Amino acid sequence: MEKITLTVKGMTCMGCVRSVKNVLEPIPGVAGVDVTLENGQVSIDFDPAKSSVEQFTHAINDAGYEVAG
């Protein structure tokens, strides 16, 4: 299991937090998603054999938010 923390721009409320979680949690290999709204940090526990950071970035972008790093 690996953990990565992405900085996501555009999240302004708990609804945004839920949206981001909702697109990440169904991705195969994702074991946990933790979002801190204040600083836009999205921490993802995942199995690197099943999913990749590119997938997470795409999913977040598709949901309407911007991954800054």
Residues lying near Cu ion in the complex (CB under 5 A): 12-13, 15-16
Nearer Cβ to Cu ion (56/65): 65
Tell me how many degrees the CA angle 51-36-23 measures, rounded to the nearest 5: 35
Nearer Cβ to Cu ion (16/44): 16
Q: What is the closest distance, in whole angstroms, from the C-beta atom of residue 7 to Cu ion in the complex?
A: 17
> What residue type is 50 in one-letter code?
K
CA 65 to CA 69: how far, in whole Å?
12
Q: What is the closest distance, in whole angstroms, from the C-beta atom of residue 15 to Cu ion in the complex?
A: 4
